[in-house]
A and B are shown apart, each in its own frame.
Chain A
C-alpha cells in the first residue's frame, strides 16, 4: 500500500486470483430453466469403453478367425493391457513375434489359442514358442 497524503493506492494482488467465467451472451432475466438443477454431462463412449486410458490401445481386426466371438474383418478392437489375463478371455497374443487375436484356453496340460471359426485350427503354445499375452480385448466396435 502506498500512501500519498489523501489518496491511498492499493496494489492488487493476483496471487490468489479466482477465475470467473465471462458470459459473452449476456444474462437474460426470466424463469430459470428447470433442467439446470439436473445438469448432467452427456454420455461419453470414451469413458464408458476405456477404463484405463493410459494402457488402452485400438487395433483393427484383419481376418475371420474370431467371427464367432463377434470380431469381423475390419472391426475396431479396444485392448486394455493392464487387465490380468484369465482363462476364456479374448486376448491379443504375441507368438514368436507375430500378433494374433484368440480366446485363451488353459487346461492342466496345455495352453491353447482358440479360434471362433470352424475353418481355423487351434494353436497349441509349447515351450519352444516365444509367447506373450499382449492385452485383453474388452470391446469391439463395428460398423453395421
Chain B
C-alpha cells in the first residue's frame, strides 16, 4: 500500500505556524520578486484569487478584503518541509520526498487499519508542526495521488484521509478524476486525450484506448495505466544525486554588453559549483547557453550553446567560472540584445572518484577556498564572498516587501512570545 501525504496550501500554512492569528483569514504568498500568487489559503480562494495571478492585478482585492500578503520565505518553508519528511519516518521507514509539500510513503508488509493510521499521521503532523495535511492511500503511487485529491476535495466527509481499498472505490474514484488532474498528464496531453474522447482517469484505463496511449505517451503511458489499475509499477525513489545541474535565467532587463554578461555568467557558474559541492560531485562538462531577443536580432539564429570539457573533474567556482567566461568571449556578439543565459554542468562524478592526472591538475588551493566560501555561507546565509567578476550589490537582490522572519533558521529572527 502507498500513501501520498500532501500539505494543504503549504506556504500559507507555514506562515500561519508562527502567526496563528491568521487562521481563518485570507492569506496569500507571492513568488520570488513578489511577482504573482503561488499559495492561497482557502479563504483567499473563496474570494476568487487565482493561482499565478500577478500581484498588481489583485491590489484592490487585497485592500478591500484585508488579505494578508507574504513574500516567499524559502528558508522557513524548506525547514518545515524537512521536519515533515523526517517526522513521517516515525510511521514507516519508506518515505520518498516527492516535492517540498508532498511525500510518498510505502506500507508494504504492515498490517494496519489505513484509515486509522492515516488519521494518526494527520493529527500528529498537525500537533507537532501546526501543518494541516491530507492523505490518500492506494495500491499504487498514481492511485494514492487520486485518493489524496478526494481527501482534499471532501475534507469534511473524509476528515482529510481517503483509502482506495476496494475495486468499487477504485472505479468510482477514477470516474470522478478528470483526465487533466491525473498524475503526469499535463495541459497539452490532456487536450490530446480529450480529442480522443478520454475525459476521465477511468476512460484512460479502458482497453480500447491502449494503442492510442502507447502511441502518444509510449511506455510512460502504459505504466500510468497499470498504476491506475492498481498494479504498482513505480517504486519509491530513494534520493539520488542529480545528473546535470542547470542555472538559467531570463533577464528582467536585456543585456547588451560583455561586461554585464560576464557578471551574470560567472554568478550562474558559481551557483552551479555550489550545488555540485553540496551533493559532493564534480563535473567534466560545462555548457554555456545564451539567447538573444528574437524580435530584435537581424540574424536568423538567436539561441546558442557551447560546451567545453575540463581536463580534470572540478567543482571549483573559479575553474567553472573561468571556462564559462572563456566560452562566453568566443560567442558573445557586441551590439546584440540578450534575453536569457545559463550555465549547465554535466558529466558528473562523485567527488571521491575523482582521478588524479599526471600533467594537469587543479590548484589544490581551490578546494580550501571553496570550503571557506561554503562555511561562510552556511554560517551567515549570505553569498557575500564572491569572485572578482561578480557584482557585489546587484546579484541576489530581490523584491521582498512582505517577508516574514526566518523563524527557524536564524537565531536573531526567532519568534517572540508574550510572557
| A residues adjacent to B (C-beta < 8 A) | 14, 17, 19, 54-55, 57-66, 71, 73, 76-77, 81-82, 92, 94, 97-101, 134
Contact = CB atoms under 8 A, between A and B. Distances in A.
B419 A63 contact: yes
A59 B411 CA distance: 9
A54 B83 contact: yes
Contact of B417 (A19, A55, A62, A97): A62
Contact of A60 (B21, B130, B408, B416): B416
Given A57-B408, A92-B417, A100-B419, A81 B128 contact: yes
B23 A76 contact: no
B415 interface: yes
Query: Would you call the interface of chain B mostly helix, strand, loop, or mixed?
Result: helix
A81 B20 CA distance: 15
Given A54-B86, A55-B83, A100 B128 contact: no
A137 to B, nearest CB: 10
B418 A99 contact: yes
Size bracket of the B interface = 20 to 34
18 contacts: A54-B82, A54-B86, A54-B87, A55-B87, A57-B407, A57-B415, A59-B416, A60-B417, A63-B418, A66-B419, A76-B414, A81-B128, A94-B20, A100-B418, A100-B419, A101-B418, A101-B419, A134-B130
Given A14-B353, A54-B87, A61 B127 contact: no
Nearest to A84: B127
A73 B419 contact: yes
Nearest to A133: B127
The 9 closest A-B pairs by CB, nearest first: A63-B419, A97-B21, A62-B416, A55-B128, A99-B417, A54-B83, A54-B86, A60-B416, A66-B419
Contacts of B380: none
A54 B408 CA distance: 11
Given A55-B129, A97-B21, 13 more contacts: A14-B353, A17-B352, A55-B83, A55-B87, A55-B128, A57-B407, A59-B415, A61-B416, A66-B419, A81-B128, A82-B128, A99-B20, A99-B417
A107 to B, nearest CB: 23
Contact of B418 (A58, A82, A98): A98
A51 to B, nearest CB: 13
Contact of A61 (B21, B83, B130, B417): B417
Nearest to A61: B419
A77 B407 CA distance: 13
Interface in B384-419: 407-408, 411, 414-419
Nearest to A55: B128
Among B86, B127, B408, the one with the most A-chain Cβ atoms within 10 Å of its Cβ is B127
Contacts of B411: 58
A46 to B, nearest CB: 12
Contact of A64 (B128, B353, B419): B419
Nearest to B411: A58
A92 B127 CA distance: 13
Interface string B73-110: 00000000011001100000000000000000000000
A17 B414 CA distance: 43
Nearest to A73: B419
A81 B417 contact: no
Contacts of A14: 353
Contacts of B83: 54-55
Given A66-B419, A94-B20, A101-B419, A60 B414 contact: yes
A110 B418 CA distance: 23
A65 B419 contact: yes
A100 B408 CA distance: 19
A143 B411 CA distance: 14
Nearest to B352: A19
A81 B129 contact: yes
A64 B419 CA distance: 6
Interface in B14-38: 20-21, 23
Contact of B23 (A58, A77, A81, A97): A97
Contacts of A61: 416-417, 419
B415 A60 contact: yes
Given A55-B87, A97-B23, A77 B417 contact: yes
Nearest to B415: A59
B417 A59 contact: yes
B419 A97 contact: no
A17 B415 contact: no
A71 to B, nearest CB: 6
A61 to B, nearest CB: 5
Contacts of A60: 414-417
